[in-house]
Structures are given as C-alpha cells and as structure tokens.
Amino acid sequence: MKVFFLIIAILLIIIVLLQSGKAEGAQGIISGGNIDLFNKRKERGSELFISRLTLVLGILFFTLTIVMDVI
C-alpha cells in the first residue's frame, strides 16, 4: 500500500510540473500589469488530458491518505 502511495505522489508531482502556466497573469497583477487573469480559455488536447489526470491523481492521493490513516 505504501509503495502505491509513493508512486501516486511522485506521479502527481510530475504531472503538476508538466502543466502549463495558467497563473502567468498573477505576476502582472502583483507588478501592476493590465492582464486579463480570468480570461476564459478552453483546454484542448494534451492540456485537457493533463488537467484531468491531475484531478484523478489528486483524488487518489487524498483517498489513500485517509485510508492509510485509518489502517
């Protein structure tokens, strides 16, 4: 169980690092730039896959954390 937890944790870290920088506009807000932070942008292709994989791995990580705490 702990090995599976470790694999999920490492995969989650890698997938999060692979995501595109959606928060690039946050730097403009801090420095006073006029950037549309909340611009509606649809994810397509690999971005959509990585986003959904991140969600699934996050849910698995959270669930395994609670299950391991109970056991």
Interval 11-45: pLDDT, tens = 999 999 988 765 555 555 566 555 555 566 677 88
pLDDT at 46: 86
pLDDT at 35: 56
Q: How many domains does one find in the chain?
A: 1
Helix axes 46-70, 2-18, angle to 10 degrees: 150
Q: Closest Cα partner for 69 from 11, 2, 7?
A: 2
Domain hosting residue 26, numbered range: 2-70
